[in-house]
Amino acid sequence: PPVATGLTFCTATAADAPEMAETVGIGFDTYRAFAPPGWEPPPFAVEVAAIRSRMVGHDAWALLARDGGASAGHIALLADPAPGTVYLWQLFIRPPHWGTGLADRLHEEFLEASRSRGYRRARLRTPVDQARSRRFYERNGWQTDGVASYEEKLGLDLLVYTRKGLT
């Protein structure tokens, strides 16, 4: 893919939770294409509160990408309960930036941030029917065992993906 150009990047803080939640909400809206009839994403205020509370801890890190002053996307990590493992908590790109290489750039930043924190493995969860994301992760070295589990908060079946070695 082409390399994302003309963007600026900055480390997110809890104060960026509304911007991040807006991007997540835009991403969740695309889930309607495959979600069960009547599915609704978590409310904006709930997502803001969840992001803000996670960003307060020392085990969270997120990187925002902006195009001018507008949000283009972000990636975020958390410490995973498994020793030596990082959790890719969020990777959301706004539709105008799909196919620009931004997801690849943010993924590389995630890998670098994870390595610099001493993590050796990574884990993430994504909806079973989110084909675009699944192709992206598989193309970037992630693997799933194919066993889905229902996520009550999101109301969707999710797959766990893992990546051993963060190089």
Q: Where are the alpha helices (DSSP H) in the chain?
A: 17-30, 44-56, 102-116, 131-139
Residue 165 is predicted with a pLDDT of 84
Close Cβ partners of 72 (under 8 Å, ≥ 6 residues apart): 4, 7, 65, 66, 93, 94, 96, 97, 102
| Low-confidence residues in the chain, pLDDT < 70 | 1-5, 58
Residue 3 is predicted with a pLDDT of 58
Sequential DSSP letters for 69-100: TEEEEEEEEEE-SSTTEEEEEEEEE-GGGTTT
Residue 149 is predicted with a pLDDT of 96
Enter the pTM of the model: 0.94
Buried b (16+ CB within 10 A) or exposed e, 63-100: bbbebeeebbbbbbbbbbeeeebbbbbbbbbbeebeeb
**pLDDT tens sequence across 49-73:** 999 999 997 689 999 999 988 999 9
Residue 28 is predicted with a pLDDT of 97
Beta bridge partners of 164: 121
- Structure-block tokens of residue 4: 């994302």
